[in-house]
Chains A and B, each alone.
Chain A
Amino acid sequence: MVSYLLLAMILLPMLLAAVVLAVTDRRFRNVCVLMVSGILMVSALLIIKTGAAFVEIHGTLAEVLDYVIFAADVAISLIALYFGFKFRSIVLAVLSIAQLIPLVLFHIQINFAGVEKAFHIDHLSMIMLLLVNIIGPLIAVYALHYMQEHEHHQHLTASRQHYFFATILLFLGAMNGLVMANNINWIHFFWEVTTLCSFLLIGHDQTEAALANAKRALIINFFGGVAFILGIMFIYSRVHTIAVHEILTYSDVSVLLIPMALLVLAGFTKSAQIPFQSWLLGAMVAPTPVSALLHSSTMVKAGIYLIFRFAPVFLGTWLADMSALIGAFTFAAAALLAISQTNAKRILAYSTISNLGLMITLICILDIYAIYAAALLIVLHGVSKALLFLCVGTIEQAIGSRDLEDMDGIRQRLPLTAFLATFGAISMLLPPFGVLITKWIGIEVTASLPPVMFLIILGSACTVFFWAKFIGKLLSHNPEAEKIETLFLTYQGPLAIIAVLALITSIFMIEFSNMFIAPFISSAYLGSSDQTIPNVLISDFAGFYPPAFFAVTAIALLLVFILYNWLKPKRYVQPFLSGENSGHNQFYSLSDGKFNAGFRNYYFSSVLNEHKLTYLMNSIASALLIVLFGVILR
């Protein structure tokens, strides 16, 4: 049963990707995407219902698979090499060769051996599966309409949508493979597939900027890939196994510290930690569903997943502390940089980088609450950020701009989308939603690492600033705005579903924790499969119980609405413009001319110069990384 589900989740999307690529008919494609979406959702739920398990593959099939995956992995490197020559990028060419040679050597060294327990579905995988297979398909469905509009705006002669959806499907399959594989070589392969997908999707629009940013993404991720493969070789040389569950049982940390550092480095590149953040910002040129799916909710979490997976091995070491520091630094620095951004997608991108940093910090802290918070944040952030990106995409299609300053009166122009976007932003910033709770836990658990905690405190203050600007803009009222929203089931439908999911995950945080995180902690960290031992509820955490909290908030809101009915304005007047109003937003000025009063949010562009600050932040983060490796390699 489980193996069929695996087939459905990994191979089927990949196969259908090929079909979609071959058959360019739009209707057929839509059916395919919808079908895959349904299958993925159902199989993910079924697999979770089955519970934690190993899936073994024996005999010829296993051998064939090992060879196929090796060949495909080599092929990806060759593709990268090809693009290296095509773009005349020596760095890319060198990186792809640097990946190719160790890859081949390593496979020769291990004689193309595989792992019997090829797949391992534990509770961490399940968390990731939920994210990938519920949010992913919803975004794919959303993309159906979005890409139609997108191409409409581009005035293309021939549709390129089949490339787009093929890549998306390929990506979903690869992501499922990544989070379930137990063979570290396979993880590396799926890892490289997601890199490739990301590259193809960023470059999808074929514009100059798109191609340049795609190239950059490929280079940085390939750098991570090289670190990954080197890490695998190191691991093998030390512990002679490529099965993840066996590596995890290895208790002598010092032996594995160098390979683990390499894997963490790979995770940093994939999760766009400073100084590797530039590719994720560049990736924002891609169509918005790509940003939502790959570059905020799922693919960037692959790096987090990798670190999370191997964290039990190196927790409590220098590596973990330094990683926590780099994560916290990223959290603060990205939040600070987000203040200076006017482009809504870039704000979201910086916020994503920032949150990924927080996840890494939480993962690398030896505290049971931190692990809870990290796992929760992966889900909560994925859901909320997907929602936000999709809303920004919808707004961008409607008003032709993704600049925050152009979104005045969006509340009247696109009421539903603006409402959902506001909800998404609030769920990222304010209580009682979960993201804030994880930040709260973050501060409380990092008390043992004061510098890290201090960075989190600074970062959360900056976070408030840019989110409040964002929400304020979405809610601002413009008397001249008119409604232009058109509703489609497949367009706003996924948005609404994701919003509901965001609400549900926040309310049922504790149930979620009990279901997934507590068992994960007991098996991965306490080395016990007895799920009753560490059943730590967040409710133990200072008497905090989310549903009660939500209930109080709901009652408060009800109260507010009652009071508000009493307070409803009796008369509307024009705003205060020093008495010179000539219209709602206009005033008389020089020679009785009518001028528009304007308002632009503060971005501190003179102080927070993105270019200079990025340079500074990159230097600091690089220095931290060098210190990390310097100490480990001593």
Chain B
Amino acid sequence: MAKKTILPFGPQHPVLPEPIQLQLVMEDEIVVEAIPAIGYVHRGLEKLTETKAIAENIFVVERICGICSFMHALCYCQGIESLMNITVPDRSRFLRVIWGELHRLHSHHLWLGLLADAFGFESLFMQCWRNREMVMDIMEMTAGSRVIISTNALGGVRRDIDSDQQKFILNSLNKLQEELDNIKRVFSDDYTVNKRLVDVAVISKEDAHELGAVGPVMRASGLSFDYRTTGYAAYNELDFEPIVEQSGDCYARMMVRLRECYQSIDIIRQAFAKLPEGPIASPVKGFPSGEIATRVEQPRGEVLYYIKANGTNHLDRLRVRTPTFANIPALLKMVKGLTLADIPIAILSIDPCISCTER
């Protein structure tokens, strides 16, 4: 047994949307060891924020990750706002929820598609991405751009959503929900899909807790926690429960995200129903000082921002701990003992965002 199969899985690998390398050591096709190597996306973004003005940094943190850009900006703005004790207008709080949930919808659809692609279900991938385009249309209509929408600003939001747009969005969401019903049936009941997801890469409740998993990975293992329930933005005025699955395998993680899509649609509807009239931003004067840690629930789990300001237009330090970073220990635990064919599924099941993690 002297020789083993050693495979560099990534960085340029079509199954991985982003460059990361897992050095897989295998026997037959069973992975005995997976050694991650990173650094392909590291740009030095945290350092960059120290050279930019505080308001400019919104655009920088949005480019930590193009998929959950809005949440990054939201987290950053909320941090600066609470440092400066700014109360944002009610309308903008609700608009932030709406955009935030739209991002969650597009991110989960994207992920569902990539997962389908990872287990070789091409038409399901196409269908997920086709549905996603409805969300992208909403983004483009409300913000003028598709992925990095830049609607957050210090003290509120930059753009408003008028009643015509509202009608369009609600219509689209109705359609989206119908389509979602279709793909849900495939994801949850299809024989081949079940074969590939059920009991693959299981993380127990204890492990998930001990390894500090966050987001859907944690909730799929039976831990009920969602940072939105703490009620930032307008979430305290909306009615929802964290979505929890018990089995801790890839199927559970998929189900959590699928059900969160429904939840997001529901939250957006609630938010529109309760959307108050009024200004969309408060004025911001002066510079923040002091330090603060803020958190936001992203599609991938909670993100943590640590901001240290010194009263000037530049920050002393900005530190981001992203959900993927928290989930990597769980991932490395999962992949051991899997077969090669399950590796892409296991990697995708934590919805990795390497560009978040490496910044």
Query: In the complex, A touching B, CB below 8 Å?
Result: yes
Q: Which of B1, B9, B29 has the most CB of A within 10 A?
A: B1
- In the complex, A380 Cα to B207 Cα: how many Å? 60
Within 8 Å CB of A579, what residues of B?
11-12
Within 8 Å CB of A589, what residues of B?
8, 21, 23, 35, 37
- In the complex, A38 Cα to B339 Cα: how many Å? 57
Interface hit among A72-80, A554-562, A593-601: A593-601
Task: Report the minimal beta-carbon distance from A579 to chain B, rounded to whole angstroms.
Answer: 3
User: Total number of A-B contacts with CB less than 8 angstroms?
Assistant: 58
Render B268-301 as a binary contact track against A, CB cut-off 8 A, 1 for contact: 0000000000000000000000000000000000
- In the complex, A588 Cα to B8 Cα: how many Å? 9
- In the complex, A606 Cα to B30 Cα: how many Å? 10
Asked if B9 and A578 make an inter-chain contact with CB atoms under 8 angstroms apart, the answer reads yes
- In the complex, A602 Cα to B3 Cα: how many Å? 11
Within 8 Å CB of B36, what residues of A?
590
Interface size bracket, B side? 20 to 34
Asked if A606 and B3 make an inter-chain contact with CB atoms under 8 angstroms apart, the answer reads no
Within 8 A of A (CB), among B1-53: 1-13, 21, 23, 27-30, 35-37
Asked if A590 and B23 make an inter-chain contact with CB atoms under 8 angstroms apart, the answer reads yes
Asked if A598 and B6 make an inter-chain contact with CB atoms under 8 angstroms apart, the answer reads yes
**Chain A interfacial residues counted at CB < 8 A:** 23
Within 8 A of A (CB), among B108-148: none
Task: Using A578-B21, A579-B12, A580-B11 as known contacts, say yes or no to A590 and B35 having CB atoms under 8 A apart.
Answer: yes
Q: Quick one: closest A residue to B35, CB to CB?
A: A590
Asked if B3 and A405 make an inter-chain contact with CB atoms under 8 angstroms apart, the answer reads yes
Which secondary structure characterizes the binding site on chain A? loop
Task: Report the minimal beta-carbon distance from B232 to chain A, rounded to whole angstroms.
Answer: 38
Within 8 Å CB of B11, what residues of A?
578-580
- In the complex, A604 Cα to B30 Cα: how many Å? 10
Within 8 Å CB of A419, what residues of B?
none
Asked if A600 and B27 make an inter-chain contact with CB atoms under 8 angstroms apart, the answer reads yes
- In the complex, A578 Cα to B24 Cα: how many Å? 12
Within 8 Å CB of A599, what residues of B?
3, 5-6
Q: Which of A405, A580, A591, A597 has the most CB of B within 10 A?
A: A580
**Does residue A587 face the partner (Cβ distance < 8 Å to B)?**
yes
Asked if B28 and A603 make an inter-chain contact with CB atoms under 8 angstroms apart, the answer reads yes
Within 8 Å CB of B13, what residues of A?
578
Within 8 Å CB of B10, what residues of A?
578
- In the complex, A598 Cα to B5 Cα: how many Å? 5
**Does residue A605 face the partner (Cβ distance < 8 Å to B)?**
yes
Render A256-289 as a binary contact track against B, CB cut-off 8 A, 1 for contact: 0000000000000000000000000000000000
Within 8 Å CB of A602, what residues of B?
28-29
Asked if A596 and B6 make an inter-chain contact with CB atoms under 8 angstroms apart, the answer reads yes
Asked if B21 and A605 make an inter-chain contact with CB atoms under 8 angstroms apart, the answer reads no
Q: Which of B10, B23, B29 has the most CB of A within 10 A?
A: B23
Q: Quick one: closest B residue to A588, CB to CB?
A: B37
- In the complex, A264 Cα to B192 Cα: how many Å? 50
- In the complex, A141 Cα to B177 Cα: how many Å? 81
**Does residue A577 face the partner (Cβ distance < 8 Å to B)?**
yes
Task: Using A578-B11, A606-B28 as known contacts, say yes or no to A598 and B35 having CB atoms under 8 A apart.
Answer: no
Within 8 Å CB of A606, what residues of B?
28, 30
Within 8 Å CB of A604, what residues of B?
28
Asked if A600 and B21 make an inter-chain contact with CB atoms under 8 angstroms apart, the answer reads no
Render A490-502 as a binary contact track against B, CB cut-off 8 A, 1 for contact: 0000000000000
Within 8 Å CB of A603, what residues of B?
28
Task: Report the minimal beta-carbon distance from B18 to chain A, rounded to whole angstroms.
Answer: 13
Task: Report the minimal beta-carbon distance from B301 to chain A, rounded to whole angstroms.
Answer: 25
Task: Using A578-B13, A589-B23, A605-B27 as known contacts, say yes or no to A600 and B3 having CB atoms under 8 A apart.
Answer: yes
Asked if A405 and B21 make an inter-chain contact with CB atoms under 8 angstroms apart, the answer reads no
Within 8 Å CB of B9, what residues of A?
578
Within 8 Å CB of B30, what residues of A?
606
Within 8 Å CB of B8, what residues of A?
577-578, 580, 587, 589, 595, 597
Within 8 Å CB of A597, what residues of B?
6-8
- In the complex, A406 Cα to B3 Cα: how many Å? 9
Q: Quick one: closest B residue to A408, CB to CB?
A: B3
Render A583-622 as a binary contact track against B, CB cut-off 8 A, 1 for contact: 0000111110001111110111110000000000000000
Task: Using A578-B13, A589-B23, A605-B27 as known contacts, say yes or no to A600 and B35 having CB atoms under 8 A apart.
Answer: no
- In the complex, A403 Cα to B6 Cα: how many Å? 19
Please give 13 more A-B residue pairs, beta carbons under 8 A apart, in addition to A589-B37, A597-B6, A598-B4.
A405-B2, A405-B3, A406-B3, A578-B9, A580-B12, A588-B37, A589-B21, A599-B3, A600-B3, A600-B28, A602-B28, A605-B1, A606-B30
Taking Cβ atoms with an 8 Å cutoff, the residues of B that contact A are 1-13, 21, 23, 27-30, 35-37
Would you give 24 A-B contacts (Cβ < 8 Å), ordered by A? A406-B3, A578-B21, A579-B12, A580-B8, A580-B11, A580-B12, A587-B8, A589-B8, A589-B21, A589-B35, A589-B37, A590-B35, A590-B36, A590-B37, A591-B37, A595-B23, A597-B7, A598-B4, A600-B5, A600-B28, A602-B28, A602-B29, A603-B28, A606-B30
